A and B are shown apart, each in its own frame.
Chain A
Amino acid sequence: MPGKWDWLKDEIGFSNLLTGGKMLLKVISGKLSVDDLTKCALCPNMCRHTCPVSIVDGRETTSPAGKARVAFMIREGRLELNLENLEPLYMCLSCNICTLYCPFEFSVADLTRPINEEAVKKGVVFEEFKKVFENLENYGDVYGAKSEEENGKGKVLYIRGCTIRNELPELSEKALSLLKKLGFEVFTINETCCGIPAYNLGNVELFKKLADENAKKINQSKAELVITSCPSCAYAYRVLYPKYGVKLKPKVVHITEILGDRLKGLKAEGEVTYHNPCKLALGLDQKELLKDILNKIEGLTVKEPRKEFFCCGYGGSAISRLNPELAEEIAQERRKQLKDGADKVITACPSCKLALNSDELEVLDIVEFAHQLLGE
């Protein structure tokens, strides 16, 4: 079989080799290449249609390539590193849906993050973020709530995460009862935020500090398995910590991952659709998991939403703080897409549930749904 670039070698020919074709040959042999941010800045936005921010906000500046172009100009010193110019870079949900369609498999969030990190290092930080950093520094909790709980010990550690502890405590009750029914002896500890909000907002140092604290607590608990209710926590533990050299001894799973076949054979009625949490579906690469679990339930009609992947609007920590109206508009758009599937939605993330549940749409976490099916 001829090679990918043989056509070009044939075309360039000998005479052109002397003038400039040589350089091209270096490119095609991989000896010379362009850096990723520049590549993205030059792209015609081939993932714009998948980016929830871009579809809803409509601003070129916050489109995927638009953000890359602003980041590029900041990096090149052509635009100043100030809050006004940073604002579009933070209009990102860190959902990585762009990666699915990008010919280079880029994540815009990853490409622009170095700029945000540099800004934090230099103290160029939005007021809205300072409060988050303070809460995390002082209480190890995004909401700034103090946790008094004792640290337990055992084999299976259940971690609720900040959102459930602060906003949906009933979900943790249900999760504990569900896990018990499924045969897991679980314990809890005095939790510290996994650090993902700090990471999302560009504060790597704080993120690392929280990661170390988590690792210490979790490793000391002697757990062999960690089950989280929040996909972002599982993503931080499983994907981000290793990247930053932080070691967790136990295996980490999101609660949906252990439901797997365990709901098979249960019976239900009616129609549901599903909302894939970005960090579960894309972050942990479980694109089909939620749909598969639902499809195994007898008697349940599972309808596909209009878009398989679309963030609820509250991912990434920045938009909901800097531009809550945009977050709500994205949630509203997602509700419409889900309603094209069904009026009842199953998801697997407390933040997605909070974002999407509304008068016109009933949104249940898979834990609540399973809990119902198993008989409350």
Chain B
Amino acid sequence: MLDEIMKKSKPKNIENAIKKLSEKLGNKKISIKPADLFSYSHDYWLITFHWLLQGKVPAFPDVVVWPESREDVVEIVKIAHEEGVPVYPYGGGSGVLGGAIPEYGGIVVDVKRMRSVQVHEEDLVVEAETGINGHYLEEYLNKRGYTLGQIPQSLYPSTLGGWIATKAIGQFSTKYGGIEDMLLGIEAVIPPGKIVELKPHPRTATGPDLRKLFVGSEGIFGIITKAWLKIWPYPEERFLMSFASETLEDALDSVRRILRRGAKPAVVRIYDKIETKRHFYKFDEMYGKVGTVIIVEGDPKIARTEKEIVEEEFKGKPMGEEPVKHWLETRFIVKEVSEFAPLGVVIDTIEVAVNWSNAAKLYYNVVNAMKSVKGVLFASAHASHFYPQGVCFYFTFAGLPPKNVSATEFYNQVWDKAMKATLESGGTISHHHGIGRHRAKWLAEELDGAYELLKKIKHVIDEKNIINPGNMGV
């Protein structure tokens, strides 16, 4: 009764594979129940929720497996390889680009029952299995006086494995970096069922950095089962600052200068005029301006100096702590899709990165490109992650498809405009959500010759093309 929209094919040997899985793992760890197959037929790619509302799903898997150890994962990958049946790693399902959709049927492997964790305090390292919930991990560290510093907005629903696989980044990234900066060691299972373990060291010069191969791999090379990550002592001091600037350029340039001087505020977020109105309407003096919130934290002495640098460099009226407190209180509230999608409103967010020299140009080009699509009601952005070299813009659009245009067509039109404008303005098509199935069509253009290299690497690791086939278009 639930139609499949994206299903390409059904694996030939699936019955054999299921039989073997049940023999090796026992029936408790696997399911072919309709409710389970339904639950893993999608992730959080937004357009697919318009399909769900109409009783359509992206694609059903044939079986779901919940391994409890890396040995279980080895068995699964072995069986999949032997039988030539696709396998799709699954974490929190909060990925927003369809990266976990079982397009060719087969086995979904949900690693969330693998969630052990342990801290090595002297080394400032945490060791955890990848199914661990993001918030659970951070709370575990906080209780012991540490932080990972990885606080994506999806902290509550997502997993460590998903973070590594999508190259995720948190709101506090300007100080702590993205997941790639935290990752010291990794364990993964690759075809035909082999464990690869790269142990954690402060640094190692042992050939190309193979750990990085799995960062942003989006489940196409293997299943990541464990990771070792850098941690920090929980910050003793925290300063909250906010500013109202006349123009986006003023605010961007302020942050550029702050970072050039070597200060690393943990959180920096610059909202364009629309989003300042949207998020900070309670603060009269910010209304109609470009609002920025900044958090500096860490060792008290260092933090104080960084705070001074921010104050010296920022071009804009200081607005005090309140807007930042407001941001802290509201940063995990996610309601829009629930409230508007059932009424036909198509919403999504698009995050891209660009060097400073092209930053303002890219912002205007992308906003204008999205607005040029008939039916778009608004397009806006904030700059959410910063580097001495440039910035990430996080765009939001919403619209109502015109008559005779389906939600999916409309959605693709807006995305296409945004992606093309990004490439034309010298940006990269993704800063942290990754590629998934949706963005695959623009990846080849961005990677150019390197796209072939990616495909070759994929083929060498996974010659039968069974690990998340179709993801990223490879």
A27 to B336, CA, bound (A): 11
Partner of B143, one of A4, A11, A44, A306: A306
A57 to B64, CA, bound (A): 14
B319 CB-CB contact with A under 8 Å: no
Given contacts A42-B337, A49-B157, A55-B133, contact A69 B39 (CB under 8 A): yes
Q: Is the CB of A7 within 8 A of B38?
A: no
Least Cβ distance of B335 to chain A in Å?
5
A253 to B170, CA, bound (A): 45
A304 to B155, CA, bound (A): 22
Q: Which residues of B contact A61 (CB under 8 A)?
A: 35-36, 38-39
Partner of B378, one of A12, A78, A104: A12
Partner of A59, one of B110, B334, B402: B110
Given contacts A7-B281, A45-B157, contact A16 B66 (CB under 8 A): no
A373 CB-CB contact with B under 8 Å: no
B341 CB-CB contact with A under 8 Å: yes
Given contacts A7-B277, A44-B157, A59-B66, contact A49 B134 (CB under 8 A): yes
A202 CB-CB contact with B under 8 Å: no
Least Cβ distance of A88 to chain B in Å?
5
Given contacts A42-B49, A45-B92, A46-B156, contact A73 B2 (CB under 8 A): yes
A21 to B377, CA, bound (A): 7
A225 to B374, CA, bound (A): 66
Given contacts A3-B281, A6-B277, A79-B35, contact A58 B115 (CB under 8 A): yes
A46 to B259, CA, bound (A): 33
Partner of B35, one of A10, A24, A40, A85: A85
A84 CB-CB contact with B under 8 Å: yes
Q: Per-position contact with B for A36-57: 1 when CB-CB < 8 Å, else 0?
A: 0011111111111110000101
Q: Which residues of B contact A33 (CB under 8 A)?
A: 339
Q: Which residues of A contact B345 (CB under 8 A)?
A: 24
Given contacts A2-B281, A45-B92, A55-B133, contact A307 B139 (CB under 8 A): yes
Given contacts A11-B377, A44-B94, A78-B55, contact A23 B139 (CB under 8 A): no
Least Cβ distance of A306 to chain B in Å?
5
Which chain B residues numbered 105 to 159 have a C-beta less than 8 Å away from chain A?
A: 110, 112-113, 115, 131, 133-136, 139-140, 143, 154-157
Which chain B residues numbered 8 to 45 have a C-beta less than 8 Å away from chain A?
A: 33-36, 38-40, 44
A326 to B36, CA, bound (A): 17
Q: Which residues of A contact B93 (CB under 8 A)?
A: 45, 60
In the complex, how many residues of chain B place their beta carbon closer than 8 angstroms to a beta carbon of chain A?
A: 61
B357 CB-CB contact with A under 8 Å: no
B240 CB-CB contact with A under 8 Å: no
Partner of B33, one of A32, A57, A84: A84
A356 CB-CB contact with B under 8 Å: no
Q: Is the CB of B343 within 8 A of A27?
A: yes
Partner of B332, one of A46, A79, A306: A46
Q: Which of A4, A11, A38, A70 has the most CB of B within 10 A?
A: A11
A40 to B375, CA, bound (A): 27
Which chain A residues numbered 17 to 39 have a C-beta less than 8 Å away from chain B?
A: 19-21, 23-24, 27, 32-34, 38-39
Q: Which residues of A contact B2 (CB under 8 A)?
A: 73, 78-79
Partner of A70, one of B35, B274, B281, B375: B35
Q: Which residues of B contact A49 (CB under 8 A)?
A: 133-136, 155-157
Partner of A87, one of B1, B35, B338: B35
Which chain B residues numbered 312 to 371 have a C-beta less than 8 Å away from chain A?
A: 332-335, 337-345
Tally of A-B Cβ pairs under 8 angstroms: 166
Q: Is the CB of B281 within 8 A of A23?
A: no
Q: Per-position contact with B for A136-173: 1 when CB-CB < 8 Å, else 0?
A: 00000000000000000000000000000000000000
Q: Is the CB of A48 within 8 A of B156?
A: yes
B278 CB-CB contact with A under 8 Å: yes
Q: Is the CB of A27 within 8 A of B340?
A: yes
**Closest chain B residue, CB of each to CB of A306:** B143
A101 CB-CB contact with B under 8 Å: yes
Q: Which residues of A contact B133 (CB under 8 A)?
A: 48-49, 55
**Closest chain A residue, CB of each to CB of B341:** A42
Given contacts A2-B281, A104-B338, contact A23 B400 (CB under 8 A): yes
A38 to B343, CA, bound (A): 11
Q: Is the CB of A48 within 8 A of B39?
A: no
Q: Which residues of A contact B210 (CB under 8 A)?
A: none
Q: Which residues of B contact A57 (CB under 8 A)?
A: 113
Given contacts A16-B377, A45-B94, contact A39 B339 (CB under 8 A): yes
Least Cβ distance of A273 to chain B in Å?
12
Q: Which residues of A contact B136 (CB under 8 A)?
A: 49, 55
Partner of A4, one of B66, B156, B281: B281
Q: Is the CB of B34 within 8 A of A84?
A: yes
Q: Is the CB of A8 within 8 A of B134?
A: no
B282 CB-CB contact with A under 8 Å: yes
Q: Which of B92, B155, B332, B338 has the most CB of A within 10 A?
A: B338
B52 CB-CB contact with A under 8 Å: yes
Partner of B156, one of A7, A16, A87, A101: A101
Q: Is the CB of B38 within 8 A of A79?
A: yes
Least Cβ distance of B411 to chain A in Å?
15
A239 to B66, CA, bound (A): 38
Given contacts A44-B157, A45-B92, contact A104 B335 (CB under 8 A): yes
A19 to B39, CA, bound (A): 35
B284 CB-CB contact with A under 8 Å: yes
Q: Which residues of B contact A87 (CB under 8 A)?
A: 33, 35
Q: Which residues of B contact A20 (CB under 8 A)?
A: 344, 375, 377, 400
A243 to B453, CA, bound (A): 64
Q: Which residues of A contact B274 (CB under 8 A)?
A: 7, 11
Q: Is the CB of A84 within 8 A of B1?
A: no
Q: Is the CB of B115 within 8 A of A59?
A: no
A20 to B346, CA, bound (A): 12
Least Cβ distance of B345 to chain A in Å?
7
Apart from the given pairs A42-B342, A59-B66, 18 other A-B contacts in the complex at a CB distance below 8 Å = A12-B378, A20-B375, A21-B400, A23-B343, A43-B334, A46-B157, A48-B92, A49-B157, A55-B136, A58-B66, A60-B39, A76-B55, A78-B55, A79-B1, A79-B35, A87-B35, A88-B35, A103-B334
Q: Can you sample 29 A-B contacts with CB below 8 Å?
A: A1-B282, A2-B281, A7-B281, A10-B277, A12-B377, A12-B378, A19-B375, A19-B400, A19-B402, A20-B400, A27-B339, A39-B335, A42-B49, A42-B53, A42-B342, A44-B154, A45-B157, A46-B156, A48-B157, A49-B133, A57-B113, A59-B66, A73-B38, A80-B34, A84-B34, A88-B35, A88-B39, A306-B139, A306-B140
